[in-house]
Structure 1
């Protein structure tokens, strides 16, 4: 009865809203009042039952709250230009919106078969590692920032001998280079990797000066580079099997996540180095099974770039010049391979160079403007790839700074970059520089026992990377005549990809 009384009161309230209540006291409607109450009672009953029917089987839904932060950016209408803008990604590099469980790709497979990973160019718009989002102001950066020149054509056996002869190499330098490759090949592990602590495998403890860096992708990628530099990418090549096994190891260690293909194993140095190896291998071999991993490695580099354009030890950190150098060369290698490199990433990277330059770009610092040897060599080489002309006064001043320093007796990291700068710049300074460094490396190469063909110098980088790192760097220094085509002069490659 209480429920009926409640419904009756509710019906009366509804009647009041509909204008019927005054009529209940009018003699003209007294006969209808019972009918109206009954009608409203049954109507409300049907509505109540219908509501509960609609709720049955319905999935629970949350409330979506969209919050936008105020921005000082100019409206898109004022930004003009023919720009290819990629679709924004799921979120920024630091996973503020959640993370995706990474997947380890083929950790152990007895047969060397490179399984392709879909690249960003082949994937749908919902791909996990699309290029990350940009701010409207970033569009203003994309004003022709491209990397140019430095092709891989000189590694072809028919070109190599001529380039050695005409650009400063000798038979002795090529012999030393070959001995270095033999030592590196002898220290490959059975799983296809190389380790900075080289004492495992066939070496045992026969060679001194092991390294301490744990990243196996970094060590494997670094050693692959001199083999690729010497053109060992065909079935007829002496070290083709070693190259193929090393490439398989790299692809097996790649972790696919929302940002692309992660090859760090603890450091962005390794990401850049391994990405160079994959991109160069794909560019030279045109093996489609390498395209996906190479693109994924580049996607990772692009997606974890700091907003100010640099890279450091870990994803998203403000940049330093030494880590930057490996990433920028990876991006250039990707271009040479025909892979996708976002223009915005290159534009931001150029802005990072601006932030660490001194003397209008003649010298460079580590994280701030300065005048330091290795950062200056890296900065100048990067500027060359960005298109600074040979007669640019800033470049001339920087080269003069390196020339005054001269080749280091122990720091192969500095020598590796500075040697390329001097080689590309050419001129009398290069001839003197090349003669000094080339002959010193020939004279200091180990020629006894199991260390035969290797190098080691007491240096801060060598203490971490050990004999394996030092040997790989020295071999690449001796390959400078053909490893990358000259950026200037008659043999230069002027057009970017």
Structure 2
């Protein structure tokens, strides 16, 4: 069950930034750069900060200008709960909240669309998700979990049961009998008997977020998911693959690395090797069909590693992608539409903001050198 409102994430020691939004805005506008250190603590962020803030502001205006009254978008998969949820998380990642502030209406539309999408079996499904029902469901569940505890009482009363059923479906889909190579993971449908890393990464993030939010997610479910992730890991090279350790590694290694980083594997032998793999192959994601997805996971994972890994990747990312923003504020490679690309780039650029609870960096562990 979700945490009661008196014990929501605002009371969690790592969640104060979001609920101090007005204070942060005041500091950003009124105090010298030295006083902004909690937000801009990374040298690489400070180097690009004015350009990042301008790009994010333009991107959010673009997303607001293209949103329909029901919360959907006009381009490819723009009615999918997965894409709508990515837009919602982009707003959250920049420090905006449902029900208050500049983009309250846009966020509320995203949230309402997802809340109204649930089927009787718990599946969040609305619009065209192609063959990836669980893919969209996992992203939507993560979005709901990140919103839980920061909405008004009436919305929380609706969100809590929807999130509980959505989380339960993810657990049930994991428990569907699979062979040894696929056990512990997820794929496109709730009853799929195989797994892939891409879908499983979103599922693990959704479960981890729900667990942080007080949902009864068994430790065993997280452990089985991590075990599946490791089945797709080439320990020698540090890479991760789609259904084995090798396929699509240039776009999926960030996903596998982030799963490990957020599951207690920081500083183990595997993680720096994966960071090295990402640095070595980062140029290869450019113009890839899954470019924005790969960059999103790479940025999140390298920020978790910290040190030179984030410094080198972050500098490369901002240098490479800031100039590629279109005049209307969007990013698009012509394959998935501006909504998807723009949302993923905002989520990537705002990593140092640390507004999404699931991706908070554990400050009790050292950054890797």
User: TM-score, structure 1 length as denominator?
Assistant: 0.60
Is 1:299 the counterpart of 2:168? The answer is yes
Partner of 2:125: 263
> Judging changes above 3 Å, is the alpha-carbon distance between structure 1 residues 361 and 338 closer, same or farther for their aligned structure 2 residues?
farther
| Moved beyond 6 Å, runs of 4+ | none
Structure having the higher Rg: 1
Aligned residues: 322
Contact 1:151 1:336 in 2 (8 A): no
From 356, 380, 384, give the equivalent of 2:232.
356
Paired position in structure 2 for 1:424? 304
Q: Is the 8 A contact 1:298 1:331 kept in 2?
A: yes
Q: 1:238 aligns with which of 102, 119, 139?
A: 102
User: In structure 1, the residue corresponding to 2:120 is in which secondary structure?
Assistant: strand
Tell me the alpha carbon deviations over residues 165-213 of structure 1, each in whole angstroms, 9 at most, x when there is no partner: 212330220111111111111111112x223xx2xxxxxxxxxxx42x3
Q: Which runs of 5+ in 2 are unaligned?
A: 5-11, 29-35, 178-182
Give the C-alpha shift of residue 275 in structure 1: 0.6
Unaligned runs of 5+ in 1: 1-118, 123-148, 199-209, 493-497
Shift in Å, 1:313: 1.3
- Sort the Cα spacing of 1:365 and 1:486 in 2 relative to 1 into closer, same or farther, 3 A: same
Deviation at 1:254, TM superposition (A): 0.9
Output the CA distance in 1 between the equivalents of 2:343 and 2:304. Answer: 21
Provide the residue aligned with 1:382 in structure 2: 259
Structure with the higher fraction of residues in helix conformation: 2
Distance 2:293 2:271 in 1: 20
Match of 1:483 among 330, 335, 355: 355
Distance 2:3 2:53 in 1: 39
Supply the distance in 2 between the matched residues of 1:491 and 1:329 (Cα, whole angstroms). Answer: 20
Find the residue that maps to 2:40 and give its secondary structure: helix
The CA distance in 2 between the partners of 1:466 and 1:344, in whole Å, is 38
Does residue 1:290 correspond to 2:164, yes or no? no
Q: CA RMSD in A?
A: 2.8
Relative distance call for 1:284 and 1:300 in structure 2 (3 A) is: same
The CA distance in 2 between the partners of 1:424 and 1:359, in whole Å, is: 19
Partner SS state of residue 339, structure 1:
coil
Change (3 A) 1:480 1:358: same
Distance in 2 separating the partners of 1:234 and 1:190: 16
Shift of 1:278: 0.8
Are 1:216 and 2:80 matched, yes or no? Answer: yes
The alignment partner of 1:256 has SS state of: coil
Offset of residue 216 of structure 1: 2.2
Q: CA deviation at 1:488?
A: 4.5
Alpha-carbon deviations, 1:295-353, whole Å to 9, x = none?
A: 11111111112441111112232110111111111112212322221333212212211
Shift of 1:234: 5.0
Change (3 A) 1:355 1:234: closer
Match of 1:106 in 2: none
Provide the C-alpha distance between the structure 2 equivalents of 1:473 and 1:234, rounded to a whole number of angstroms. 19
